[in-house]
Amino acid sequence: MPVRLLTAGSEDIHLAHTLDVTNQGVQLGGYRGEMKVGDEIVIQYRRNQAQFRVIWITARENSSEKIIGAKCLEPGKQVWGELFPEQLDEYEEKE
């Protein structure tokens, strides 16, 4: 899903896209701006937005594109339009 990123202390808007989303966080691809671990960002999807904290960043080889992992600081907000069902870890033993 395409998203907009707003970084704290800047009015610049950056574009990215989701690679994976959960109720607690998101993995983003396609980001080309400057950011560091610990930065707080606002992610906007359609008309919904919430604050996140960057918890990891990986630079793609031979590209200026970065992949970002961010944790939601407002877990009650439904940025993606709905809450996702909690799923058991596939590696946990099922009863």
9/15 Cα distance (integer angstroms): 17
Alpha carbon distance 70, 53 (integer Å) = 5
Nearest residue to 43 via CA among 63, 69, 66: 69
Q: Would you say residue 92 has pLDDT above 70?
A: no
At residue 87, the pLDDT reads 55
Task: Report pLDDT for 84.
Answer: 56
> Residue 71: what residue type?
K
pLDDT in tens, 37-68: 999 999 999 999 999 999 999 987 888 899 99
Query: For position 83, what pLDDT does the model report?
Result: 57
- Structure pTM? 0.79
Q: What DSSP string runs through 38-69?
A: T-EEEEEETTEEEEEEEEEEEEPTTSS-EEEE
pLDDT of residue 75: 77
Return the structure tokens found at 23. 């109720």
Per the prediction, the chain carries an average pLDDT of 84
Contact 25, 41 (CB under 8 A): no
